[in-house]
């Protein structure tokens, strides 16, 4: 029997939350084991995995956040989860949402990166099932995470009557509208560099573009400071392995960016500076495009369906405008792009 009372749903989450908490501690056996496995599968450096676990895994969500997650989640007879690769910590929130929906949760992990789901399962035995294939039936719900291509494939192969909650491809952006003091700007850039470096920028929350308001902030200074910060950060948070295809994409981006603007080396990655409002989406792997524009919000508008999160620095009224303009995006402070409140799916777009 699927108990849908709030208390029952809250209770179902507890073992999972505890399992996550025990992974964060690098000195524990589970913490050490998790780091070894995640380094092997994710391609991230050991420091990158450790930083992601410490910074982004929701080990201590607040009760209001948990309540919001539960209340925003519809119930289901069976909740299925299809996990994606790359952002391993995402498994935690995805499984939590499914547990809020049903006592019967079946999780199909990414075949390339199954570790996090297995680690969470080991720490919360019996809480959910790991399956190798999805077997949803009418009346079930499926929360699916991955590329748009995968979402389309899933949507076309689901049996009738299964409700799909699809969370596809997206990107993050950062907006600087007002020139803060030099100290504050340095802090913003340092925080942004961490947002970029997390998961080597492979997630849908990862910032790929910075928009600065022309005549208020110097895009050129932001680009050069960010390049220096990323290079500095890489010394203590090395970039992990990239695939040959990813390296090829970076070579293409670097030369394209050089043609349309300017490029600065930023450790292993690059920061490009767009001239004349030139848009460019850099490939993942710690590359970011800085764009000067008279109205950053207007410049982002065509990409509304793709925007998952936006870090903002500027006037409160403009922040409200940003929030209204992109209701599907999470608007946050710099340094918080990769750790949104544990109040539901990170991706709030209506897909």
Partner 1 sequence: MTRNARSDDLHRAVRRFASGDPTRSFAELALEIAAFQREFSAGFARLCASRQSSLERVDDIPGVPCDAFRLARVAVRPESEDRLRFFTSGTTSGARGMHAMRVTDTYRELALQFGRSALLSSERPHHVVALAPLLDDPPTSSLGHMMAMFMVDFEQRGSFDARTRERWLIDDRGVDLTGLERAAERATTHGETLLVLATSFALVGLLDTLGDRALPLPRDTVVMQTGGFKGKTREIEPSELRARVARAFGLDETQIVSEYGMTELTSQLYEASVPGSVLARLRRGQSGVYAEPPWLRVVPVDPTTLEPVPLGEVGIARIVDLGNVDSAVAIQTQDRVRRVEGGILLLGRAAGAPARGCSLAIEEFLAHVPR
- The continuous run of DSSP H or E covering 141 comes out as strand 141-145
Nearest to 192 by CA among 151, 222, 161: 222
Task: Note whether 90 and 346 are within 8 A (CB).
Answer: yes
CA dihedral of residues 133, 137, 139, 144 (deg, nearest 10): 30
Binding residues for partner 1, total number by CB under 8 A: 53
Q: What residues numbered 278-297 form the site for partner 1, per CB under 8 A? A: 278-281, 283-284
| 9, 93, 106, 167: residue in contact with partner 1 (rule CB under 8 A) | 167
Regarding 156 and contact with partner 1 (CB under 8 A), the answer is no
Q: Smallest distance from the beta carbon of 274 to partner 1, in angstroms?
A: 9
Regarding 260 and contact with partner 1 (CB under 8 A), the answer is yes
Is residue 274 classed as helix, strand or coil in its secondary structure? strand
Q: Smallest distance from the beta carbon of 90 to partner 1, in angstroms?
A: 8
Residue number, 303 or 336, with CB nearest to partner 1: 303
Q: Smallest distance from the beta carbon of 72 to partner 1, in angstroms?
A: 20
Regarding 277 and contact with partner 1 (CB under 8 A), the answer is no
Sheet holding 269-274, edge to edge: 207-213, 288-293, 269-274, 261-266
Q: Smallest distance from the beta carbon of 50 to partner 1, in angstroms?
A: 20
Regarding 168 and contact with partner 1 (CB under 8 A), the answer is yes
What mask of x and - would describe binding to partner 1 in positions 15 to 54, judged by CB under 8 A? ----------------------------------------
Integer CA distances (angstroms), 195 to 4, 205, 210, 262, in order: 37, 9, 12, 22
| 206, 293, 309, 338: residue in contact with partner 1 (rule CB under 8 A) | 206
Residue number, 163 or 247, with CB nearest to partner 1: 247
Quick one: which segment of 9-17, 127-135, 157-165, 247-255 binds partner 1 (CB under 8 A)? 247-255
DSSP state of 276: T
Quick one: which segment of 64-72, 124-132, 233-241, 250-258 binds partner 1 (CB under 8 A)? 250-258
Helix 115-123 crosses helix 6-24 at what angle (to 10 degrees)?
Answer: 110
Q: What angle do CA 200, 144, 337 make, to 5 degrees?
A: 35
Residue number, 120 or 273, with CB nearest to partner 1: 273
Residue number, 253 or 334, with CB nearest to partner 1: 253
Please give the full DSSP string across 38-101, using - where no structure is assigned: HHHHH---HHHHHHHHHHHS-SS--HHHHHHHHHTS---SSEEEE--SS-TTHHHHHHHHHHHH
Helix 115-123 crosses helix 90-101 at what angle (to 10 degrees)?
Answer: 50
Q: Which residues pair with 265 in a beta bridge?
A: 270
Residue number, 73 or 206, with CB nearest to partner 1: 206
| 4, 47, 150, 224: residue in contact with partner 1 (rule CB under 8 A) | 150
| 19, 59, 73, 86: residue in contact with partner 1 (rule CB under 8 A) | 86
Integer CA distances (angstroms), 185 to 177, 289, 301, 315, 337, in order: 11, 17, 25, 15, 17
Residue number, 12 or 254, with CB nearest to partner 1: 254
| 10, 249, 328, 341: residue in contact with partner 1 (rule CB under 8 A) | 249
| 218, 256, 321, 325: residue in contact with partner 1 (rule CB under 8 A) | 256
Q: Which residues bind partner 1 (CB under 8 A)?
A: 84-87, 110, 112, 145-150, 167-171, 201-204, 206, 208, 243-249, 251-256, 258-260, 262-263, 276, 278-281, 283-284, 302-303, 305-306, 347
């Amino acid at each position: 029997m699927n108990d849908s009372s709030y208390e029952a749903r809250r209770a179902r989450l507890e073992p999972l939350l505890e399992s996550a908490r025990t992974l964060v501690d690098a000195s524990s056996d589970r913490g050490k084991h998790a780091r070894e496995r995640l380094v092997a599968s994710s391609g991230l450096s050991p420091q990158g995995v450790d930083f992601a676990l410490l910074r982004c895994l929701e080990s201590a969500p607040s009760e209001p956040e948990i309540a919001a997650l539960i209340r925003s989640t519809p119930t289901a007879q069976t909740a299925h989860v299809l996990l994606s690769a790359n952002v391993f910590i995402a498994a935690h929130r995805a499984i939590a949402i499914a547990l809020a929906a049903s006592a019967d949760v079946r999780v199909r992990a990414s075949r390339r990166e199954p570790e996090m789901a297995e680690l969470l399962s080991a720490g919360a035995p019996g809480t959910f099932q790991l399956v190798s294939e999805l077997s949803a039936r009418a009346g079930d719900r499926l929360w699916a995470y991955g590329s748009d291509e995968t979402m389309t494939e899933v949507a076309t192969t689901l049996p009738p009557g299964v409700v799909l909650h699809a969370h596809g491809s997206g990107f993050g952006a950062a907006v600087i509208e007002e020139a803060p003091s030099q100290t504050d700007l340095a802090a913003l850039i340092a925080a942004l560099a961490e947002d970029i470096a997390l998961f080597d920028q492979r997630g849908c929350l990862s910032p790929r573009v910075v928009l600065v308001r022309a005549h208020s902030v110097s895009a050129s200074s932001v680009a050069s400071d960010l390049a220096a910060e990323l290079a500095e950060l890489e010394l203590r948070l090395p970039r992990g392995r990239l695939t040959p295809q990813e390296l090829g994409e970076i070579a293409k981006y670097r030369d394209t960016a050089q043609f349309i603007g300017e490029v600065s080396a930023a450790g292993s990655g690059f920061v490009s500076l767009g001239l004349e409002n030139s848009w460019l989406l850099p490939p993942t792997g710690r590359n970011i495009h800085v764009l000067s524009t008279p109205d950053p919000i207007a410049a982002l508008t065509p990409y509304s369906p793709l925007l998952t999160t936006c870090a903002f620095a500027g006037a409160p009224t403009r922040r409200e405008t940003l929030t209204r303009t992109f209701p599907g995006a999470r608007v946050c402070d710099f340094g918080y792009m990769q750790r949104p409140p544990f109040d539901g799916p990170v991706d709030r777009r209506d897909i």
